[in-house]
Amino acid sequence: MFDESNYSFARYLSSKKSVDNRALNRVVWQRLQSIIACEHSGKPPAILEIGAGIGTMFERSLEWGLFKKAYYTAIDAMLENILEARARIPGWAYNVSYRVEEIADDELKLSGSGTDVTLKLEDGDFFDFAMKNHGSYAWDLIIANAFLDLVDAGRTLPITLDLLKPGGLLYFTINFDGATVLEPEIDAEFDALVERLYHQTMDDRMIDGSISGDSKTGRHFFEIARRNGVEILESGSSDWTVFAEKGGYREDESYFLHFIIHTMYCALKERPELELHRFKRWIEERHSQIENGKLVYIAHQLDFLCRKADT
Ligand SMILES: C[S@@+](CC[C@H](N)C(=O)[O-])C[C@H]1O[C@@H](n2cnc3c(N)ncnc32)[C@H](O)[C@@H]1O
């Protein structure tokens, strides 16, 4: 059985990279890639990533050729994530043959084979950062992966727009959209109750007295963008689909699944609607399904590429 003391958010984010790699909507991605190639062939884009975690989207952007030259600022509220990013990115860069220089305490420069990228890693709350940089209109592209559904998207979008240049781009991806599927079924009624209550915890979450999360962020974002005069250039689904092949789950994805099930346990263990013994048995059975390579997990999500108005 999976050792409970081993749960690490940084390892979860690392295990999520291959899941996101499969999930990210390629039509949305390719549209972003072609706009960056067209509009930033001469001048490197200034990119801000919000809730950047341990830096996997930064790595992916280079692995998938989004840019060769850029000024990339990655901010995350958890110091451990930023420290992990600082620790892992030089090793990753070396493995993919970039030269890495530390140009300041919080800044790395990656170069080689035509690449020239400055990465600034900042720990801090995005809303504080946005307040400090309010009206700076400094960034060409703002990225947020698996972030927008954790905050109040309706409040976050206008704050984000204040940082973006006129005509700048928003790439908001892996936005949860109201469906968690766990197969095989244990008990249809109980499974559905767990799913409903789990989603409700996302809708009820408050941070500092404000709404913080929405289990239907994906579908709600269309209206939020319209209200803020933001044009959606492309959107499409980016569902996580995790299953075991003959040789088991890929990469570190069994860890990813154990972490998700553990998160559900933590979110719901005090809910009076669930009889605790029964819920614990249900959680144990889900962990066993992972150990046996039987669990299939699907989470419905949506990606967006948007443009801020030019004026
Ligand atoms: C689900 S994780 C996704 C991390 C990363 N984007 C990825 O996909 O691997 C959400 C991240 O947002 C960060 N976060 C949450 N609220 C934040 C805030 N107000 N300001 C900055 N980061 C925040 C968390 O610390 C966490 O690392």
Angle at 89 between CA 302 and CA 297, to 5 degrees: 35
- Report the run of H or E that residue 236 belongs to, with start and end: strand 231-237
Whether residue 288 contacts residue 230, with contact meaning beta carbons closer than 8 Å, is answered with no
Whether residue 256 contacts residue 16, with contact meaning beta carbons closer than 8 Å, is answered with yes
Q: Name the E strands within 45-163.
A: 46-50, 69-76, 99-104, 107-112, 115-123, 139-145
Report the atom number in ligand 1 closest to the C-alpha of 81: 27
Q: Give the Cα separation of 7 and 304 in Å (integer).
A: 31
pLDDT of 3 = 56
Q: How far is CA 309 from CA 188, 225, 233, in A?
A: 47, 11, 12
Decide: 78 in ligand 1 pocket, CB within 6 A: yes
Q: Give the Cα separation of 63 and 78 in Å (integer).
A: 25
Q: Give the Cα separation of 275 and 67 in Å (integer).
A: 52
Decide: 175 in ligand 1 pocket, CB within 6 A: no
Q: Which residue's alpha carbon is nearest to atom 7 within ligand 1?
A: 53
Whether residue 127 contacts residue 95, with contact meaning beta carbons closer than 8 Å, is answered with no
Give the pairing of strands 210-211 and 107-112: unpaired
Q: Which two tokens mark 42?
A: 């001469």
- Mean pLDDT, 10 residues at a time, over the chain (311 residues)? 72 98 98 96 94 98 97 98 97 94 95 96 97 91 98 96 97 98 98 97 87 93 98 98 95 98 97 96 98 98 97 76
Q: Give the Cα separation of 208 and 199 in Å (integer).
A: 20
3-state SS assignment for residue 174 = strand
CATH number reported for the structural domain that contains residue 210 in this entry? 3.40.50.150
Whether residue 87 contacts residue 48, with contact meaning beta carbons closer than 8 Å, is answered with no
Look at the chain and report how many structural domains it folds into: 1
3-state class percentages of the chain: helix first, strand second, coil last, to nearest 5: 45, 30, 30
76, 129, 303, best to mutate for ligand 1 pocket (most atoms within 8 Å of CB): 76
Q: Give the Cα separation of 77 and 239 in Å (integer).
A: 25
The per-residue b/e assignment along 107-138, b for 16 or more CB within 10 angstroms, e otherwise, is ebebbeeebebbbebebeebbebbeeeeeeee
Decide: 58 in ligand 1 pocket, CB within 6 A: no
pLDDT of 5 = 62
Q: Give the Cα separation of 149 and 215 in Å (integer).
A: 7
Distance (angstroms) between ligand 1 centre and the Cα of 85 equals: 13
pTM passes above 0.75? yes
pLDDT of 1 = 44
Domain coverage including residue 144 = 4-307
pLDDT of 206 = 85
